[in-house]
């Protein structure tokens, strides 16, 4: 039995090619939309590009070298280029992971980029059912399970970091620690640093305090709100929150008045 040197398996029509790329765009966009709504660094367009790029790579690996199929010494391997996507996407995912003290963020976004690449490979290979089911599962995980996770973590105490700057003296440090204790949180790590801070009246001694608190998410937000309005407080900064400059806000209010 004589085998054909140009089997149809190495060829794809323009309609099917377009369908696969557009499908990758849609599926990647659905997952990226959730990341975009959440304000993550890798959002809508990033996920679309990763998914489309993965689909294009597996299409190229499967059909881009069909002209060489007639060569006697050539063995085409559709999985060769596709396999490099799985390892290569790790570099992009690592760029979304940020470590700030004991807090690590971006892991979910890195994982979503990795799974979007896998979905793109599935679409490019024509494995539509697996790609669509995986996309639905990812969206359910990111939308619904995220709420379940937050609800569970809200009642679980864990270490959370906060940095403050306050004027030295007048019992400010003691008042701050008492306010934290009253809010139901406990200080596990406390690092103090004293330095001179320039003011309009001259230099004044200030304390820079870095703390690790063991608290629930709800208590943590309450602690931050309490520290912001604490007398003698200059600045409050936490991972994920914009720093609050007490003096700048007071000056701005004075100018407005």
Residue 63, in any domain of the structure? yes
Residue 110, in any domain of the structure? yes
Q: Output 156 or 69, whichever has higher pLDDT.
A: 156
The pLDDT-based confidence of 135 (bands split at 50, 70, 90) is: very high
What pLDDT is stored for residue 119 in this prediction?
92
Domain boundary among 109, 138, 153: 153
Look at residue 229 and tell me whether its pLDDT is greater than 50.
yes
What pLDDT is stored for residue 251 in this prediction?
40
What pLDDT is stored for residue 65 in this prediction?
64
Domain boundary among 153, 182, 198: 153
What pLDDT is stored for residue 247 in this prediction?
45
**Alpha carbon distance 34, 245 (integer Å):** 32
Average pLDDT over every residue of 141-147: 78
Q: Which residues of 175-209 are buried (b: 16+ CB within 10 A; e: fewer)?
A: ebeebbeebebebeeeeeeeeeeeeeeeeeebbbb
Query: pLDDT tens, 234-257?
Result: 888 877 544 444 444 434 333 333
Residue 3, in any domain of the structure? no
Write the CA distances from 93 to 1, 50, 114, integer angstroms: 49, 11, 7
What pLDDT is stored for residue 132 in this prediction?
92
Shared-domain flag, residues 114 and 88:
yes
Shared-domain flag, residues 18 and 140:
yes
Are 212 and 160 within 8 A, CB to CB? yes
**Alpha carbon distance 160, 183 (integer Å):** 14
What pLDDT is stored for residue 141 in this prediction?
84
Look at residue 153 and tell me whether its pLDDT is greater than 80.
no
Residue 1, in any domain of the structure? no
What pLDDT is stored for residue 244 in this prediction?
46
Residue 2, in any domain of the structure? no
Q: Residue 125, Cβ neighbours under 10 Å: how many?
A: 19
Domain CATH code at residue 218: 3.30.70.260
Shared-domain flag, residues 175 and 137:
no
What pLDDT is stored for residue 133 in this prediction?
92
Number of domains in the chain: 2
Domain boundary among 153, 174, 190: 153
Shared-domain flag, residues 126 and 170:
no
Shared-domain flag, residues 130 and 164:
no
Shared-domain flag, residues 30 and 142:
yes
Average pLDDT over every residue of 145-173: 76
Is 172 exposed, middle or buried (CB count within 10 Å of its CB: 0-12, 13-18, 19+)?
buried
Query: pLDDT tens, 182-223?
Result: 888 888 888 888 888 777 777 888 888 888 888 887 788 888
Shared-domain flag, residues 116 and 182:
no
Shared-domain flag, residues 178 and 250:
yes
Write the CA distances from 167 to 193, 227, 246, 254, integer angstroms: 12, 13, 11, 21
Query: Please, which residues bridge with residue 105 across strands?
Result: 98
Question: Average pLDDT of the chain?
Answer: 77
Q: Where are the beta strands (DSSP E) in 63-132?
A: 98-100, 103-105
Shared-domain flag, residues 15 and 134:
yes
Shared-domain flag, residues 109 and 42:
yes
**Alpha carbon distance 112, 93 (integer Å):** 9
Domain extent for 88: 8-153
Query: pLDDT tens, 94-134?
Result: 777 766 555 556 777 888 888 898 899 889 888 889 899 99
Query: pLDDT tens, 1-48?
Result: 344 455 666 677 888 888 989 999 999 888 888 888 877 767 788 888
């Amino acid at each position: 039995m004589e085998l054909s040197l140009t089997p149809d398996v190495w060829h794809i029509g323009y309609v099917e090619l377009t369908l696969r790329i557009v499908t990758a765009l849609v599926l990647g966009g659905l997952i990226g939309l959730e990341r975009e709504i959440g304000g993550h660094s890798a959002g809508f367009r990033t996920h679309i590009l990763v998914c489309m790029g993965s689909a294009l790579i597996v299409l190229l690996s499967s059909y881009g070298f069909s002209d060489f199929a007639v060569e006697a010494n050539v063995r085409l391997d559709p999985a060769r280029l596709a396999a490099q996507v799985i390892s290569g996407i790790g570099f992009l995912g690592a760029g979304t992971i940020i470590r700030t003290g004991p807090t690590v963020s971006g892991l979910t976004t890195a994982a979503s980029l990795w799974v979007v690449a896998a979905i793109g490979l599935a679409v490019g290979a024509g494995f539509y059912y697996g790609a669509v089911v995986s996309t639905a599962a990812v969206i359910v995980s990111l939308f619904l399970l995220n709420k379940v996770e937050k609800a569970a973590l809200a009642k679980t105490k864990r270490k959370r970091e906060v940095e403050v700057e306050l004027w030295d003296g007048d019992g400010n440090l003691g008042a701050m620690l008492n306010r934290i204790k009253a809010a139901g949180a406990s200080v596990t790590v406390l690092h103090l640093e004293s330095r001179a801070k320039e003011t309009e009246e001259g230099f004044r001694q200030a304390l820079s305090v870095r703390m690790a608190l063991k608290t629930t998410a709800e208590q943590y937000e309450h602690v931050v709100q309490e520290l912001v309005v604490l007398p003698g407080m200059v600045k409050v900064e936490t991972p994920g929150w914009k720093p609050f400059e007490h003096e700048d806000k007071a000056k701005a209010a004075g100018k407005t008045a």
